[in-house]
Amino acid sequence: MSRFLIEQYHNEIENIIAYGGSRKETSIRIAFQKLLQEYCKKKDFILIPELDYKTPYGKIVYPDGTVKDELRLDWGYWESKDEQDNIDDEILKKFDKGYPKDNILFEDSQTAVLFQAGREASRINMKDDAALDKIISAFIGYERPEVSNFREAILHFKEDVPKLAEFLRELIDTQSKNKDYIVSRDKFFTLCKETINPDIVIEDIREMLIQHILTEDIFNSIFDETQFHKENNIARELEKVLMTFYKGDTKRKFHERVKHYYAVIKTAASGIANHSEKQKFLKIIYENFYKSYNPKKADRLGVVYTPNEIVRFMIESADWLCYKHFGKLLSDKNVEILDPAAGTGTYITELIDYISQDKIKYKYENEIHANEVAILPYYIANLNIEYTYKQKTGEYNEFKNICFVDTLDNLGFEFKGQQIDAFSGFASENRDRIKRQNEKKISVIIGNPPYNANQLNENENNKNREYPEIDKRIKETYIKNSTAQKTKLYDMYSRFYRWAMDRVDENGIIAFVTNRSFINSRTFDGFRKTIQEEFDFCYILDTQSDVRANPKIAGTTHNVFGIQTGVAVMFLVKCKE
């Protein structure tokens, strides 16, 4: 029994009443909220206050607390009531409004009533410490059928994804004599070579088609957005290729093999009314899917996403630094913002939420930019960004400033006196977006570059690809300035820093969260010297989360990313005057 926690709860209730003189729900519910949060921590759950819940009638209600797990699934709901009200009458009122009955705990600081599976499961006097501990434990420990079904389906889905992908690979390979398919595929292949990556091969197109097929129903299930795959510029091109063979019986038969998984995902998503929660849910589905679908590429691309709290901190800090050094805010005109490794769009969606209602339309249409190189997160970023904008403004507006491109290959901007035109020839909407972005003077570059470091993978067959132009710039700067004998700074985040240093405007800011080794590693002495030469101000937040260097912490629980590598946030400021 958590006797200490319960004793703290009773003491806090007494203090609130003694100092505030009120027993109203709004005054005393904070005490029970704290108690419930402590019980949640034991199971790595989180209690979210006042989260939207969509009732079976389609209405939105707001339980005082919702208990969620790491998959963003709802485990239970909590409602606090006034002591002077009749708790049974209040319970009936809530149920009449459509509040869930599968696992909900009602309390008024005197009596607690637990409903599970549609019926009253327990009722206790809250002054009985043992009974209080028992009812909270029963509430937190109860797994709703929807939760267990979802967890089981995701587990089987992860196991089946490689088999499903292999089936689709074989299906696509049988199209070698389909002339319509070959013409359509080769046209798209040329587009990708010119605008994404010159080293792309035919097999990469096949993988993009497979991911497109496997994710279509996931998007439809979570966001109820059937038009996305028809309207998005890259999805549209993939659809043209697919329509040469993936239709009729072929499509129906494959759908039969996966419809159970999508039905479970749709059931789990149907009760999520809050858009931010939908984003997080989709992100988790994506991570589970992608790491099962292609674990090596997931590692190479650094599939690990930034906690929203860090993203918000970085945006607020960049805004403050922008005002401090340039007298401007992120929301002001002519402040161009770019996320060069957008992932599922977390930074851009947070930015949309952050910018005021009266300025967001102009910024969204003109001065917020993003790049992503992998097809699946590119899709998700599109959805998240456009739906966040719709939620904020009430209107749908296609986000035309996201590019399907490998940022480190995109050197079409003015680069130390050189003008590299990488996009001649093939006309496409994506190419036009890239050219438009390259004509901008970027004021703020913000994001979380891929974390995978080359030196961690010397003995693996999963090394990062080469980027000759960026690597040449690293040799001319970081390595030239280094006194270390074996300086080898061609890992992904070093490359992104070098790219950003060349790309940012002469009055600009870089804000990245990365591996912390640049702070004191001898290998990075040239990197640090380059920063001194090229920037006027440098701000670093070291999270002190390097497990290997800190004997007081162990495992991954002390790291915000759930990894052992130390993490730091750095802000670099360049001022013309």
Show the tokens assigned to 190.
Answer: 């040329």
* Gap between the Cα atoms of 151 and 265, Å rounded: 10
Distance (Å) of CA 458 to CA 464, 470, 471, 506, 562: 10, 20, 18, 37, 23
pLDDT score recorded for residue 516: 82
- SS3 per residue for 10-49: HHHHHHHHHHHCCCCHHHHHHHHHHHHHHHHHCCCCEEEE
pLDDT score recorded for residue 476: 93
* Gap between the Cα atoms of 187 and 182, Å rounded: 9
**What is the 3-state composition of the chain as percent helix, strand, coil, each rounded to the nearest 5?**
55, 15, 35
Greatest CA separation found in the chain? 83
* Gap between the Cα atoms of 109 and 106, Å rounded: 10
Hunting for tokens 């998959």 — which residue is that? 71
Are residue 313 and residue 290 in the same domain, yes or no? no
Q: Own/partner pairs for 151-157, CB < 8 Å, 24+ apart? A: 151/71, 151/73, 153/260, 153/261, 153/264, 153/265, 154/71, 154/264, 154/285, 154/288, 156/261, 157/261, 157/288, 157/289, 157/292
Are residue 364 and residue 499 in the same domain, yes or no? yes
pLDDT score recorded for residue 284: 76
Are residue 261 and residue 131 in the same domain, yes or no? no
**Residue 446 counted as domain residue:** yes
**Residue 277 counted as domain residue:** yes
Q: What's the CATH number where 524 sits?
A: 3.40.50.150
Report yes or no on whether pTM surpasses 0.95: no
pLDDT score recorded for residue 559: 47
Cβ–Cβ under 8 Å, residues 575 and 325 = yes
Residue type at 380? Answer: I
Show the tokens assigned to 154.
Answer: 């995701």
Show the tokens assigned to 47.
Answer: 């209690």
Among candidate residues 562, 556, 524, the one with its CA nearest the CA of residue 540 = 524
Domain boundary among 298, 321, 355: 298
Which residues form the domain of 393?
Answer: 308-574
pLDDT score recorded for residue 460: 40
pLDDT score recorded for residue 148: 86
**Residue 35 counted as domain residue:** yes
pLDDT score recorded for residue 417: 33
Q: 314-326 pLDDT, tens per residue?
A: 999 999 999 999 9
Q: Output b/e per residue, 269-299; b: 16+ Cβ within 10 A.
A: bebbbbbbbbbbbbbbbbbbbbbbbbeeebb
**Residue 174 counted as domain residue:** yes
Number of domains into which the chain is organized: 3
**Residue 365 counted as domain residue:** yes
Q: 421-467 pLDDT, tens per residue?
A: 444 433 368 888 999 999 999 999 999 998 654 333 333 444 567 88
Query: Helix 375-393 vs helix 202-223: angle between axes, to the nearest 10 degrees?
Result: 30
Hunting for tokens 């030239």 — which residue is that? 480
Are residue 132 and residue 197 in the same domain, yes or no? no
Among candidate residues 402, 384, 370, the one with its CA nearest the CA of residue 308 = 384
Q: Which residues of the chain have pLDDT under 70?
A: 1, 20-27, 195-197, 223-232, 290, 294-305, 413-428, 451-464, 485-488, 545-565
Are residue 342 and residue 415 in the same domain, yes or no? yes
Domain boundary among 143, 165, 190: 143
Strands 60-61 and 65-68: unpaired
Are residue 164 and residue 47 in the same domain, yes or no? no
Cβ–Cβ under 8 Å, residues 112 and 124 = yes
pLDDT score recorded for residue 552: 58
* Gap between the Cα atoms of 39 and 137, Å rounded: 8
Are residue 208 and residue 193 in the same domain, yes or no? yes
* Gap between the Cα atoms of 41 and 43, Å rounded: 5
Q: What's the CATH number where 73 sits?
A: 3.90.1570
Are residue 280 and residue 403 in the same domain, yes or no? no
Are residue 129 and residue 185 in the same domain, yes or no? no
Are residue 84 and residue 232 in the same domain, yes or no? no
Domain boundary among 143, 171, 188: 143
**Residue 303 counted as domain residue:** no
Are residue 166 and residue 138 in the same domain, yes or no? no
Q: Say if residue 86 is exposed, middle or buried (CB neighbours under 10 Å; 0-12, 13-18, 19+).
A: exposed
**Residue 157 counted as domain residue:** yes
**Residue 320 counted as domain residue:** yes
* Gap between the Cα atoms of 405 and 234, Å rounded: 11
How many of the other CB atoms lie within 10 Å of CB of 155?
A: 11
Are residue 450 and residue 376 in the same domain, yes or no? yes
- SS3 per residue for 299-328: HHCCCCCCCHHHHHHHHHHHHHHHHHHHCC
Strands 337-339 and 442-447: parallel
Strand-by-strand arrangement of the 119-125 sheet: 46-49, 65-68, 74-80, 103-107, 111-116, 119-125
Show the tokens assigned to 183.
Answer: 């013409």
